[in-house]
Amino acid sequence: MPCLRLFLVAGMALLWPFTESGAQRVTWSIDFGSVFDNREGDHSYTPTETYFFTNLAPEIGLELGERDRIAGGVVWNQPIGREWKGARVSPTLYWRHHARRWSMSMGMFPRTQLREVLPGFLWCDSLTYFQRNIRGALVQYHSRSAFIDFYLDWRQMQTETEREAFNIVFHGQWHPGAGRFFVGGHAMMNHFALTKHSPADQHIVDNFLVNPYVGVDFSGATALDSLRVRAGAVMTIERNRAHDYWSAPGGGWFDVVAEWRWLGVKNSFYIGGKLLPSYSEFGSQLYQGEPFYSSPFYNRTDVYARIVSNRLVDLEASLDFNVAKGSFIFYQRLLLRVYVGGGKKIRIKK
């Protein structure tokens, strides 16, 4: 694409003098992916459609000493079967600081910098496909026994037609001692504000979610290569300022991941109140979680196989079974990621 070629040429032209002088080191990477996701069944919560696309995310950066780096690039999403139609190009531009315990990023930076995949009540598959970057700031702590990710994602700026929207997310985990037991949690503040010169019938929505959990890691204690179990409570606390009350639906959450060689199974189960109480009114404008959590119960089972898994390439096939109140939908997915360049390819744990 013309803008992609322009970025590569301009980036190399700007960084070439630094390469020649040897004052700083130029870094680069190319992150390529492709997704086939066919959805069949009931469409009460999500459409029965097929996603089939590629994405390409080249980056060029400059190291500023041992701990700091600036980088820029683009993310090009291209539907397959539409030639150049439907293409979307979005910017990547950020500063990254990485130390032994603390790391920070600011700007528009890859979501792969997070330590774990967020659970479905916070983040859905389609956003993983089409919103690769966090837009804001990230602070991370990491040690042998614990990690914390704390970030601001400013997902929409206020305009005459668009409402200001951002969320602040915390997630972390701690393994006390040398045992298999661990504790952790997720928390989010989701703010959905107003447009400029908003009409009188438009109101701010305050949305919070908390999820403390406990878990056990049985990896090495069974015939499986890994087995991890988590269980906890989930609660949404929400107020639409058009009304005088707060709603606080909540329930129980159970999550298990088991892997043996190249095969894996992941199951997540929730039962309780509707965690996305205003989904019928605001939909994905307000919520980033799977729409199934607007049901009083939801179970998702993923059966996956890593067909190729090495330093450069991950190719995974997955069959996903989604059951909610009055609904069943079945996903067949093929997920490819190819990473080339400086640094280590990051695989976020499930």
Q: Tell me the C-alpha distance between 53 and 334, whole Å.
A: 11
If you average pLDDT over residues 323-327, what whole number do you get?
Answer: 97
Angle at 289 between CA 333 and CA 239, to 5 degrees: 165
- 22 pLDDT higher than 60: no
Tell whether 51 is covered by a domain.
no
Domain total in the chain: 1
- Domain of 273 in residue numbering reads as 101-341
Backbone angles phi, psi at 11, to 5 degrees: -65, -45
Q: How confident is the model at residue 20 (pLDDT cuts 50, 70, 90)?
A: very low
70 is a domain residue? no
pLDDT at 2: 53
For residue 255, which of 321, 350, 114 has the smallest C-alpha distance? 350
- The continuous run of DSSP H or E covering 8 comes out as helix 2-21
Confidence of residue 152 (pLDDT cuts 50, 70, 90): very high
Predicted local confidence at residue 245, as pLDDT: 81
Q: Which helix (H) or strand (E) holds 126?
A: helix 125-130
Per the domain annotation, does 283 fall within a domain?
A: yes
In a domain? residue 119: yes
Q: How far apart are CA 108 and CA 74, in angstroms?
A: 10
What contacts 323, CB < 8 A, 6 or more positions away? 298, 299, 300
At residue 5, does pLDDT exceed 80?
A: no
In a domain, 68, yes or no: no
The pTM of the full predicted model, rounded to 2 decimals, is 0.88
pLDDT digits (tens, 9 = 90+) for 223-277: 999 999 999 999 999 998 888 789 999 999 999 999 999 999 999 999 999 999 9
Asked if 335 contacts 316 with a C-beta cutoff of 8 angstroms, the reply is: yes
The answer to whether position 290 is within a domain reads: yes
Rg, the chain, Cα only: 21
pLDDT tens-digit readout, 26-53: 999 999 999 999 999 999 999 999 999 9
> Residue 44 contacts by C-beta under 8 Å, 6 or more apart in sequence?
324, 326, 327
DSSP class of residue 130 equals: H
Flag whether 160 is in a domain: yes
What is the rounded CA–CA span in Å between residue 337 and residue 31?
Answer: 7
**Amino acid present at 69:** R
Q: How far apart are CA 321 and CA 304, in angstroms?
A: 11
Query: Residue 57: inside a domain, yes or no?
Result: no
- In the chain, what is the straight-line distance between the N-terminal and C-terminal CA atoms, in Å? 34
